[in-house]
């Protein structure tokens, strides 16, 4: 299971899919499968449009959005095993006695205490999300962090880049015609360059190896190295034999 795209909104996380603004396709947040806009998908004896197909996919392949969220990000959300069990029981509509039975017959008072604590966390989380969204809206461009996407394999100071830092690196290494003067030596600078280069590729479209080489060759003569970095840092994906690439 892939890492959930944390840039998704709360409504998108609850439904389990989002719409690709580039082409209108529906994308499953839990595995990345795309359902193309305008295409009809056979599911058993039925035919579904892209929205119905992704919704059915989430149920059939992931057990529903709740189950997928708990499997992929329950620990990331800071839930203990007991809290996750209580929350799963609430989602099923189970009563306190049934939940207690799933917790090795713990006391009903223990289950009720966990329910109260989860409700309190929910209320606190709503306030935090509201405050954070307001803060991000008012943040100056120079102090906002660059979003490298959830697939980036490194999550440390190398990926903590402000928009102002990124602008400086782009101005230093890119010529006015869009070509790259040289590949920077530092990893943080590489990430900034690669993040800009990925915009040359249309999301959801497959590119042949020759097309990738042609696109990157217009940027810098060392297109093989750029292609390798784009794949290594997961700005681009490719199939097993290296014949197809996509963003």
* Cβ-contact 26, 54 below 8 angstroms: yes
Mean pLDDT of 143-164: 79
Euclidean distance between CA atoms 99 and 102, whole angstroms = 5
The pLDDT value recorded for residue 240 is: 87
Res 234 pLDDT > 60: yes
Interatomic CA distance for residues 17 and 98, integer angstroms: 31
What is the pLDDT at residue 136?
Answer: 67
Give yes or no for residue 217 having a pLDDT over 60: yes
CATH code of 157-246, in short, is 1.10.10
Q: Which pLDDT score is estimated for 6?
A: 64
Per-residue pLDDT at 203: 78
HEC secondary structure over 86-124: HHHHHHHCCCHHHHHHCCCCCCHHHHHHHHHHHHHHHHH
Q: Check if the beta carbon of residue 43 is closer than 8 Å to that of residue 56.
A: yes
Q: Are 189 and 174 in contact (CB under 8 A)?
A: no
Q: Which residue has the higher pLDDT, 144 or 11?
A: 11
Question: What does the pLDDT read at residue 123?
Answer: 93
* Four-residue CA torsion sign, 102, 106, 109, 114: negative
For 7-55, the pLDDT digits (tens) are: 678 889 999 998 877 678 898 988 888 899 889 999 888 999 999 999 9
- The 10s digit of each residue's pLDDT in 175-201 is 988 899 999 989 999 999 999 999 899
Q: Which helix (H) or strand (E) element contains residue 43?
A: strand 41-43
Question: Rounded mean pLDDT of the chain?
Answer: 87
- CA 148 → CA 10, 123, 125, distances in Å? 20, 30, 25
Ranges 46-50, 135-139, 217-221: which has the least confidence:
135-139
Q: Is the pLDDT of residue 73 over 60?
A: no
Position 164 scores a pLDDT of: 86
Confidence of residue 1 (pLDDT cuts 50, 70, 90): very low
pLDDT band at 76 (very low <50, low <70, confident <90, very high): low
Who has greater pLDDT, 76 or 165?
A: 165
C-beta separation of 17 from 27 below 8 A = yes
For the chain, the domains span: 10-135, 157-246
Query: Looking at residues 82-87, what average pLDDT do you find?
Result: 89
Residues forming a β-bridge with 127: none
| Predicted TM-score (pTM) above 0.85 | no
Residue 169, pLDDT above cutoff 70: yes
Q: Residue 173 has which token pair?
A: 């290494």
């Amino acid at each position: 299971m892939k890492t959930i795209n944390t840039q998704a909104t709360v409504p998108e996380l609850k439904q389990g899919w989002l719409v690709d603004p580039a082409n209108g396709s529906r994308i499953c947040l839990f595995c990345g499968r795309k359902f193309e806009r305008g295409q009809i998908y056979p599911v058993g004896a039925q035919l579904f449009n892209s929205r119905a197909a992704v919704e059915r996919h989430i149920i059939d392949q992931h057990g529903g959005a709740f189950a997928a969220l708990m499997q992929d990000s329950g620990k990331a959300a800071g839930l203990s095993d007991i809290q996750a069990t209580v929350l799963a029981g609430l989602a099923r509509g189970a009563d306190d006695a049934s939940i207690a039975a799933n917790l090795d017959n713990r006391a009903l008072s223990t289950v009720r205490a966990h329910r109260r604590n989860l409700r309190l966390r929910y209320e606190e989380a709503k306030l935090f999300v509201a405050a954070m969204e307001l803060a991000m809206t008012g943040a100056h461009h120079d102090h906002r962090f660059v979003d490298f996407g959830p697939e980036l394999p490194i999550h440390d100071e190398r990926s903590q880049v402000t928009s102002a830092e990124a602008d400086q690196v782009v101005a230093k290494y890119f010529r006015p015609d869009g070509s790259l003067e040289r590949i920077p030596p530092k990893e943080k600078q590489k990430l900034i360059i690669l993040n800009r280069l990925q915009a040359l590729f249309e999301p959801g479209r497959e590119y042949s190896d020759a097309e990738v080489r042609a696109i990157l060759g217009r940027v810098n003569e060392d297109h093989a190295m750029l292609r390798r970095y784009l794949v290594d840092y997961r700005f681009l994906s490719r199939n097993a034999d290296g014949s197809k690439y996509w963003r």
